[in-house]
Amino acid sequence: MKQLIPFSSSHQPQVEFDLHGLVGIRLVDPTPGDVAAVSKQLGVLQQPLLREPDITLRFVERLLTPPLRHLGFKKLGFTDNALFVFEDGANSGKVRIPFAQIGRKCEIVCESGLQTVPLLKPILALTAQAKGFVSVHASAFVHNGVGVLMAGWAESGKTTALLGFAARGAELIGEDWVLVTGDGKKMCGLPTMIELSSSHLESLPHVRRTIKRSRLFMLAALHRLHRIQDAALGRKGNRTSLGRLLGRIVTALEQRAYPTVPPQAIFGNHVGSLVGRPDKVFLLVSHDDPWVEVKPTPPSEMALRLAHLAQYEQIGLLEHYLAFKFAFPEATNSIIESSFDSHHEILSQALIGKDIYTVWHPYPMVFSDLYEEIEPFLKHKTSGPVLLHPHGLTQPATGT
């Protein structure tokens, strides 16, 4: 039988977080380090709940279990009635996640000392979705009174565009993870740390000066390694299995070395309530062509694309859910299994009446240039095709 070894009375009895009144989280018996780890993941300040929490994170010194049956060593384990997830890394602390309850009120039991609570963000997203809100992998801001939601795959240019508008006084709503209400009238973000690539830092010298030299040296070394690899292998060599593997390894190391900064470092005092109205919706996609093209996009097409993007963002949780189903073949969670259809249905309603565009652009791109291409579309309602200028600049055809 499982046993929980609780902490002494010196630990904080409980700490609470409220995500825009949508999802409430309560930490029970956390250490200061546990509170800091969850705060970093959520990016929000502690706030007392005036209701029962949706998610309870209970921290214990150790989760004692009978001998586990393993699904990959130190990855997943299960007993007769519970599935345990191990944190990635050397610590390998255990977390008991009730997969049958995700999306409803649930309690997750964590061993103290975790750097991150596994799957916390996707669990929050499903909890919000069960209440009629959708999570979008996007940046969001308000510029000159116009609320903008910029969605896209990883490395699609969302952060680049966000930096361009930040330099012109835009107010931050969210970066990387934004919740949109089912009626499309509100979007809510989290003030999480903003990850910056080497090219971003080159355009932000005032931010670059705040980054530790050791991190900058590491980034520079990995960037040189990338160039050496390209020079040594050439285009054909990079297409071999070994070349692709080396490229993936170097890219992964480079991305892990990217520094993160608080949103205030970019937006200054333009970090407010983190709530706005999504008046304009953009989907950013990079392409091999040298020009930028901005196309009005039907809401039905955008709803499908964003629903598939959301499903991709849930891959980690879905993989663990399949392991849960393997361990407990008769168990099920209808919220997880219907998540795509639910997400698509909510988005289809939320996007009605919105100005929606797809932005095709070369990558990488200087954020000031991306700003210049997108900003005109914030001033007009598009009623016709987009005009492509000879030099790759775009301009909307205006209407009422």
- Separation of alpha carbons 149 and 120, rounded Å: 23
Question: Residue 61 domain-assigned?
Answer: yes
Write the single-letter amino acid at 190.
Answer: L
Tokens linked to 225: 């390694």
pLDDT at 96: 96
- Judge contact between 36 and 15, C-beta under 8 A: no
Grade residue 342 by pLDDT with cuts at 50, 70 and 90.
very high
- Separation of alpha carbons 228 and 122, rounded Å: 38
Question: Residue 201 domain-assigned?
Answer: no
* Strand 106-111 with 94-96, pairing: antiparallel
Question: Residue 199 domain-assigned?
Answer: no
Residue 275 shares a structural domain with residue 240: no
Write the single-letter amino acid at 323.
Answer: A
- Separation of alpha carbons 212 and 327, rounded Å: 45
Tokens linked to 300: 């039905």
Nearest to 84 by CA among 322, 316, 319, 324: 324
- As a whole number, mean pLDDT of residues 85-110 equals 89
Annotate 7-40 with b (16+ C-beta within 10 A) or e (fewer).
Answer: beeebeebbbbbbbebbbbbbbbbbeebbebbee
- Separation of alpha carbons 58 and 27, rounded Å: 6
Q: How many CB atoms lie within 10 A of CB 304?
A: 15
Residue 50 shares a structural domain with residue 117: yes
Nearest to 22 by CA among 274, 267, 262, 269: 274
Residue 253 shares a structural domain with residue 362: no
Write the single-letter amino acid at 39.
Answer: S
Number of domains in the chain: 3
Range of the domain at 220: 212-258
- Partnered with residue 85 across adjacent β-strands are 76, 95
Q: Going along 157-265, which residue ranges are E strands?
A: 171-175, 178-181, 187-189, 194-195, 260-261
- Separation of alpha carbons 227 and 76, rounded Å: 38
Residue 244 shares a structural domain with residue 156: no
Residue 231 shares a structural domain with residue 323: no
Question: Residue 121 domain-assigned?
Answer: yes
Report which of residues 201 and 8 the model is more confident about.
Answer: 201
pLDDT at 317: 96
Annotate 232-259 with b (16+ C-beta within 10 A) or e (fewer).
Answer: ebeeeeeeeeebeebbeebeeebeebeb
pLDDT at 220: 67
- As a whole number, mean pLDDT of residues 321-347 equals 96
Listed in sequence order, the residues at least 6 apart from 161 whose beta carbon sits closer than 8 Å to its beta carbon are 139, 150, 282, 284, 367, 370, 371, 374
- As a whole number, mean pLDDT of residues 20-49 equals 90
- As a whole number, mean pLDDT of residues 344-350 equals 96
Question: Does 257 score more than 60 pLDDT?
Answer: yes
What is the pTM for the complete model shown? 0.81
pLDDT in tens, 127-158: 999 999 999 999 999 999 999 999 999 888 88
Residue 29 shares a structural domain with residue 124: yes
Question: Does 337 score more than 70 pLDDT?
Answer: yes
Question: Residue 207 domain-assigned?
Answer: no
Report which of residues 137 and 219 the model is more confident about.
Answer: 137
Report which of residues 323 and 239 the model is more confident about.
Answer: 323
pLDDT in tens, 168-218: 999 999 988 899 999 999 999 987 887 777 666 666 767 667 777 777 677
Question: Residue 94 domain-assigned?
Answer: yes
Q: Considering 258, 293, 313, which residue would you say is the last residue of a domain?
A: 258
- Judge contact between 295 and 386, C-beta under 8 A: yes
Tokens linked to 298: 């039907």
CATH number at residue 300: 3.90.228.20
Report which of residues 25 and 261 the model is more confident about.
Answer: 25
Grade residue 400 by pLDDT with cuts at 50, 70 and 90.
very low
Phi, psi dihedrals of residue 179, rounded to the nearest 5° = -100, 135
> C-alpha 148: how far from its chain's center?
17
- Separation of alpha carbons 104 and 123, rounded Å: 10
Question: Residue 77 domain-assigned?
Answer: yes
- Judge contact between 139 and 274, C-beta under 8 A: no
Grade residue 259 by pLDDT with cuts at 50, 70 and 90.
confident
Share of the chain above pLDDT 90, in %: 56
Question: Does 258 score more than 50 pLDDT?
Answer: yes
Report which of residues 307 and 369 the model is more confident about.
Answer: 307
Report which of residues 290 and 215 the model is more confident about.
Answer: 290
Residue 60 shares a structural domain with residue 145: no
Residue 166 shares a structural domain with residue 312: yes
pLDDT at 155: 82
- Judge contact between 310 and 383, C-beta under 8 A: no
Residue 27 shares a structural domain with residue 123: yes
- As a whole number, mean pLDDT of residues 357-381 equals 86
Residue 106 shares a structural domain with residue 119: yes
- As a whole number, mean pLDDT of residues 314-330 equals 96
Residue 9 shares a structural domain with residue 155: no
Average pLDDT, the chain: 84
pLDDT at 262: 82
pLDDT at 42: 87
Residue 286 shares a structural domain with residue 332: yes
- Separation of alpha carbons 42 and 22, rounded Å: 13
Question: Residue 76 domain-assigned?
Answer: yes
> How much is the CA Rg of the chain, to the nearest whole Å?
23
